Amino acid sequence: MTDISQMPDAAPTAKPKSGSLFEKDARTKRRNAAESRFKMYGIAAIGIGLLMLVVLVTNIVTAGTGAFQQTYLELNVELKADKLDKKGNGNIEDIKKVSTFGYAPLIASALENEVVQLGIQTDLKPKEMGKILSKAAQAELRNYVIANPDEIGKAVSFRFLTNSRVDGYMKGRVTRESIANDKSVSVEQLDFVDQLRDAGVLYKAFNLDFIFGSDASDQRPEAAGIGVSMLGSLFMMFVVLALALPIGVAASIYLEEFAPQNRLTDIIEVNISNLAAVPSIVFGILGLAVFINYMHLPTSAPLVGGLVLTLMTLPTIIISTRASLKAVPPSIRDAALGVGASKMQAVFHHVLPLAAPGILTGTIIGLAQALGETAPLLLIGMVGFIASNPPDGIVAGFLSPNSAMPAQIYEWSKRADPAFYERAWGGIIILLIFLVTMNTIAVLLRRRFERRW
């Protein structure tokens, strides 16, 4: 306000202006320009923020949708009895003795037959042709034979995964130019792939295995899936829900309804608000030191991950629960007390049910936060672990080593083959679908049950 009086134009020595209000003088124009500039800055800031959101989302969608499609090659494989069941007695133990290498010739000859049948002209040797398939193909065939030993001697139609380069070629990630220095695929092989594609036996299809399958080793990005680590995340969320919800609600009830005004209460309150801002990696250090080093709980187990995430989400749940308890008007408590309920009864029978929707919303949001958290999981060993087998049984689900969705995504992002990057983005799409669903449920709950007193 003082600024205005100091402005030179307003000084008494200035010449009195003539002219109408409709005629803007230079200073008004300048001030108006500053005004609209300032407004533009604001719009630009919001624009940049929203633009970043759009860029991020488009990037995720364009880079990640590829993971939901996979290139397959359809082959008619003759399960030759003389190769697979040499003794001819159908004994499953004997069939198991044939290693995955023993299945390679079957696939190779099936591919050769296919080429002859389709009339494809190629200079490739059979061995080179076979290389367009994934290394997982033989194992897939072996598993099928072991599961269905009766099929030996028949010809069965299979849909094999192709290797990641061929898959990349079909998706446009790999081109003839980009493979100049690539030893694992040649231009001739890509020509061959083109011919197979035109013949209709090599095609892209929806990749269910990515969603439900298990992780695969470095060499086989085409076979990697996020299913097992999804289970890991699920078990962790069970732990978080089972611990954080009751403890969080109990703590909030104490602080909001019963806590006397004293030193202890103050310390608890300060602690909770500080814990909410402690970097998540510090919780990881705590988990490593206390749960793994001291209590000797199994490394990489969803139970430990769940415990760490519980400690991390507790402040979130406590803060939102306290807010919803506070929103219940005191008249409800007074009415309950007035008809003879004890304080405990008033809280548990009347206040808590009324606050339940708000508590639930806060819990879901806390869970969503925990689901996406990665840093503490790095320290308790949920990374670097190849989640190749789903846990057998519920106890194993909590105690045997597993990965979690964000940890799996991180793991893929570190691997050398770019085909894994596509998986990582695909994993992020799945993770975000979970988060969006959870948050939508939370918002809907709030809308549905929100009550204005």
Kindly identify the residues of this chain, within the stretch 330-369, that bind another protein according to CB under 8 A.
342-344, 368-369
Residues in 125-144 that interact with another protein by CB under 8 A: none
**Nearest one of 73, 426, 373, 410 to 225, comparing CA atoms:** 426
CB of 271 to another protein, least distance (A): 4
Q: Does 174 engage in binding with another protein (CB under 8 A)?
A: no
Pick the binder of another protein from 409, 417, 423, 426 (CB under 8 A).
Answer: 409
Ordered alpha helix ranges (H), 254-329: 263-275, 280-286, 302-327
Pick between residue 115 and residue 370 the one whose CB is nearest to another protein.
370
Residues in 207-266 that interact with another protein by CB under 8 A: 246-248, 250-251, 253-255, 258-259
Contact (CB, 8 A) for 77 and 107: yes
CB of 413 to another protein, least distance (A): 6
CB of 248 to another protein, least distance (A): 8
How far is C-alpha 242 from the geometric centre of its chain's CA atoms?
22
CA distances from 95 to 101, 260, 442 (A): 13, 73, 53
Q: What residue has token string 């909030």?
A: 252
Pick the binder of another protein from 8, 11, 13, 38 (CB under 8 A).
Answer: 38
CB of 215 to another protein, least distance (A): 16
Contact (CB, 8 A) for 60 and 197: no
Residues in 46-85 that interact with another protein by CB under 8 A: 46, 48-50, 52-53, 56, 59-60, 63
Stretch near another protein under the rule CB under 8 A, chosen from 28-36, 94-102, 153-161, 225-233:
28-36
Please name the helix (run of DSSP H) or strand (run of DSSP E) that holds residue 49, with its range, or none: helix 26-64
Token reading at 280? 């998540």
Burial of 451 (0-12, 13-18, 19+ CB in 10 A): exposed
Pick the binder of another protein from 132, 152, 230, 288 (CB under 8 A).
Answer: 288
Token reading at 293? 């080093």
Residues in 150-169 that interact with another protein by CB under 8 A: none
Q: Does 1 engage in binding with another protein (CB under 8 A)?
A: yes
Q: What residues contact residue 104 under an 8 Å CB cut-off, 6+ apart? A: 130, 138
Pick the binder of another protein from 141, 202, 236, 272 (CB under 8 A).
Answer: 272
Question: Contacts with another protein: how many residues (CB under 8 A)?
Answer: 91
